[in-house]
C-alpha cells in the first residue's frame, strides 16, 4: 500500500518555480503513515503524463497525488490526460460551472470562456473543492485498487484542499491508521562517513530506521518510527536516540529545530553568562546566526566586524607588532580579538574569527580556507583553533563553516567546564 506524488508543469522542469508542493505532500503522507517511494515531475505534455501514470500503476501504487495542470490555459491538461489514460469521457459539471461563475462575480470580474474548461472532469470522478481558487481537483477511483487525487499547483490552494478534504477522505478509506514520526539528530565536527561507521549496526534497523544526511558541514541522522500515534513512535525512537548520543559524544549538538546558535544560547542562559563576537572574514555571520534566535538579547551583547587591520588595532586592542609579524590570519591575532571584544563589551565570553575566505588572498603558507577561531573565557583564559577549509572551495561555504564552527567551539568549551 503506497502513494506516489506526480507534479505537472514545464515550469518546474525548467527551474522557474521551486517545487515546494512535493515537500509538503511528502511530509503530510509521513504524518498519515502512508508510505511513498517515488516522486515524479513531468512537463505539460499528454504523452509523457500518460507514461508517468502507466509507470506508477505498474509499480502498484494505490494512491496517485497530482499537483498542477488544472488551470484554464491550453497547456493545463491533467484532467483530460487522466481521462484518456483510463478511457473515459470528460463531463462538464453544472455545479462546478455555477461555482466558477459565482466566484468571478464576487470578484467583480467577468469569467473568460477559457475558464469553462475547468468545469469538466473525468466521468465518475468526485469534486475535490477549492475554496481559495477557481480550479477544483478530483477524487477518482478509475479502478477498485487505485485512487487519484488532483490539486492545483498554487501551494496555498493545494494546502487548504489537502487539509479540508483529502485528509478526511483518506482516513475514511482506512489510510492513515499509523503515523511515521521522525526525529532529526544533528552533529558538527564529524564527517558523515565517520559517523555512519560509528553507528553502523543501527543503520540496519527496520522500525525505527536510521538514515544519514550531510549538508554544508552539518551531519544529520534521521530516526523514523512507524506507530499508531506520536507517543508510541517517540517511545520507540528514544532508546535509539540515546544510543546514538552516547556514541557521538560532543559531536551531537541537538535535534529537530535546534541549531548551534540556539543550543549555545540555551547554554549561556543556563550559566547566566553573556557573549560578544569579533568577526573578520565572516563579516557578521555569527552575529546574524545568534540574533536569528528570539530572545537572544538576554545573552548576546553584540559584536565588532573588524575587517581592516586598523579596526583590529583601534577597537580590539590587537598588538600592532604581533599583527605585523604574524599577519591578520594567525592564532595570536584571533586570541587578541577574542580578548579585546570580551573586554570592550563586558561579556563573559569573547569569540572571534579571522581567516582567508577567498577566492583570492591566499598564499603557499596561508592558503584560502585557513581560518583561526579565538575564544576568551570568563577568567580571561584564551585559546585558538585552526581550521583548513580549502576543500569547501567556495567563499560563502568557507564563511558559513567558519561561523558555525566558532559557535561549536564555544558550545564544546561550555559543556566541558559545566
pLDDT category at 418 given cuts 50, 70, 90 is low
Pairing of strands 137-143, 146-151: antiparallel
Cβ-based neighbour number of residue 136 at 10 Å: 26
What is the CATH topology of the domain spanning 179-255? Answer: Alpha-Beta Plaits (3.30.70)
Q: Which CATH number is associated with domain 3-173?
A: 3.40.980.10
Question: What pLDDT score was predicted for residue 109?
Answer: 84
Phi and psi angles of residue 13, each rounded to the nearest 5 degrees, phi first: -65, -35
Question: What contacts 325, CB < 8 A, 6 or more positions away?
Answer: none
Stronger pLDDT, 112 or 12, i.e. the higher one: 12
Question: What contacts 312, CB < 8 A, 6 or more positions away?
Answer: 280, 306, 318, 323, 328, 333, 336, 337, 340
List the 179-188 sheet strands across, edge first.
209-215, 218-227, 179-188, 252-255
CA atoms within 13 A on the CB side of 319: 11
Q: Judge whether 126 and 86 are in contact, CB under 8 Å.
A: no
Closest CA to 138 of 69, 222, 40, 208: 69
pTM confidence score: 0.80
Check whether 89 has a pLDDT greater than 90: yes
- The mean per-residue pLDDT over the stretch 6-33 comes to 94
**CATH code matching the domain that covers 260-417, chosen among 3.50.50.60, 3.20.19.10, 3.90.950.20, 3.30.1330.10:** 3.90.950.20
Q: 126-162 pLDDT, tens per residue?
A: 999 999 999 899 999 999 999 999 999 999 999 999 9
Give the cell for residue 215: 549538508
Q: Judge whether 262 and 200 are in contact, CB under 8 Å.
A: no
Q: 315-374 pLDDT, tens per residue?
A: 999 999 999 999 999 999 999 999 999 999 999 999 999 999 999 998 989 999 999 999
The sign of the dihedral angle between the CA atoms of 220, 225, 229, 235 is negative
Distance CA 61, CA 177 (A): 18
- The mean per-residue pLDDT over the stretch 256-277 comes to 98
Check whether 186 has a pLDDT greater than 70: yes
Question: What pLDDT score was predicted for residue 177?
Answer: 79
Give the cell for residue 34: 502512508
Question: What contacts 21, CB < 8 A, 6 or more positions away?
Answer: 7, 67, 68, 151, 153, 155, 158
Strand partners, 232: none
- The mean per-residue pLDDT over the stretch 369-386 comes to 96
The sign of the dihedral angle between the CA atoms of 104, 106, 107, 109 is positive
Domains of the chain, residue spans:
3-173, 179-255, 260-417
Amino acid at each position: 500500500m503506497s502513494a506516489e506524488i506526480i507534479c505537472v508543469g514545464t515550469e518546474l522542469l525548467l527551474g522557474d518555480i521551486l517545487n515546494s508542493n512535493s515537500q509538503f505532500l511528502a511530509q503530510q503522507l509521513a504524518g498519515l503513515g502512508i508510505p511513498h517511494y517515488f516522486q515524479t515531475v513531468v512537463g505539460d505534455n499528454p504523452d509523457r503524463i500518460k507514461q508517468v501514470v502507466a509507470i506508477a500503476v505498474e509499480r502498484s501504487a494505490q494512491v496517485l497525488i497530482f499537483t498542477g495542470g488544472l488551470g484554464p490555459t491550453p497547456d493545463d491538461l491533467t484532467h483530460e490526460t487522466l481521462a484518456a489514460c483510463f478511457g473515459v469521457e470528460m463531463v462538464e459539471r453544472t455545479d462546478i460551472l455555477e461555482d466558477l461563475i459565482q466566484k468571478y462575480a464576487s470578484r467583480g470580474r467577468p469569467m473568460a470562456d477559457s475558464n469553462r474548461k475547468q468545469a469538466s472532469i473525468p466521468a465518475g470522478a468526485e469534486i475535490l473543492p477549492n475554496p481559495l481558487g477557481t480550479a477544483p481537483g478530483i477524487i477518482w477511483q478509475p479502478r477498485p485498487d487505485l485512487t487519484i487525487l488532483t490539486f492545483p499547483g498554487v501551494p496555498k490552494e493545494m494546502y487548504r484542499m489537502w487539509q479540508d478534504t483529502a485528509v478526511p477522505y483518506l482516513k475514511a478509506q482506512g489510510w492513515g491508521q499509523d503515523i511515521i514520526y521522525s526525529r532529526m539528530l544533528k552533529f558538527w565536527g564529524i564527517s558523515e562517513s565517520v559517523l555512519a561507521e560509528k553507528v553502523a549496526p543501527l543503520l540496519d534497523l527496520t522500525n525505527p530506521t536510521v538514515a544519514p544526511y550531510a549538508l554544508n558541514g552539518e551531519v544529520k541522522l534521521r530516526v523514523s518510527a512507524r506507530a499508531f500515534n506520536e507517543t508510541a513512535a517517540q517511545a520507540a525512537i528514544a532508546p535509539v536516540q540515546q544510543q546514538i548520543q552516547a556514541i557521538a559524544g560532543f559531536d551531537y549538538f541537538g535535534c529537530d529545530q535546534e541549531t548551534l546558535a540556539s543550543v549555545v544560547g540555551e547554554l549561556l542562559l543556563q550559566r547566566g553568562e553573556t557573549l560578544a563576537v569579533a568577526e573578520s572574514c565572516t563579516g557578521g555571520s555569527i552575529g546574524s546566526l545568534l540574533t536569528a534566535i528570539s530572545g537572544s538579547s538576554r545573552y548576546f551583547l553584540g559584536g565588532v566586524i573588524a575587517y581592516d587591520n586598523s579596526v583590529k588595532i583601534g577597537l580590539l586592542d590587537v598588538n600592532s607588532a604581533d599583527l605585523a609579524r604574524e599577519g591578520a590570519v594567525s592564532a595570536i591575532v584571533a586570541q587578541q580579538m577574542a580578548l579585546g571584544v570580551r573586554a570592550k563589551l563586558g561579556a563573559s565570553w569573547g569569540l572571534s574569527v579571522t581567516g582567508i575566505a577567498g577566492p583570492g588572498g591566499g598564499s603557499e603558507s596561508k592558503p584560502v580556507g585557513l581560518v583561526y577561531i579565538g575564544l576568551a573565557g570568563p577568567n580571561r583564559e584564551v585559546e585558538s583553533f585552526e581550521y583548513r577549509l580549502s576543500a569547501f572551495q567556495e567563499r560563502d561555504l568557507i564563511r558559513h563553516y567558519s561561523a558555525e564552527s566558532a559557535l561549536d567551539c564555544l558550545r564544546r568549551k561550555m559543556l566541558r567546564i559545566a
